[in-house]
Amino acid sequence: MVRAILLDMDGVLIDSERHWHSIEGAWLRSVIPGWMDEYQKECVGLSMSGLYEMLRFRHDLSMTFPDFRLAYVELATAIYKERAELMPHCEDFLRAACTMGVKLAVVSSSPKDWIRIIVDRFHIADYFSMLVSADDVGGVGKPDPAVYLYAAAELLETPADCVAIEDSENGVLSAVRAGMRCIGFRNGFNDAHNLDRAYQIMEGFSEAALLSLNLK
CATH of the domain at 175: 3.40.50.1000
Provide the pLDDT for residue 122: 97
> What pLDDT is stored for residue 213 in this prediction?
53
In angstroms, the CA 204 to CA 111 distance is 25
pTM reported for the whole predicted model? 0.85
The confidence score (pLDDT) of residue 208 equals 56
DSSP H helical ranges for 21-60 = 25-31, 48-59
- Which parts of the chain sit beneath pLDDT 50? 216
Taking alpha carbons only, the member of 72, 158, 161, 90 closest to residue 127 is 90
Rounded Cα distance, 186 and 184, in Å: 7
Shared domain check, 31 and 122? no
Do 61 and 77 belong together in one domain?
Answer: yes
H-run or E-run covering 104:
strand 103-108
Alpha helix locations (H) across the chain?
Answer: 16-19, 25-31, 48-59, 65-78, 90-99, 112-121, 146-155, 169-177, 208-211
Residue 28 belongs to a domain = yes
**pLDDT at residue number 216:** 46
Domain that holds residue 203: 4-15+85-211
- Position 189 scores a pLDDT of 81
**pLDDT of the residue at 50:** 86
The pLDDT of residue 49? 86
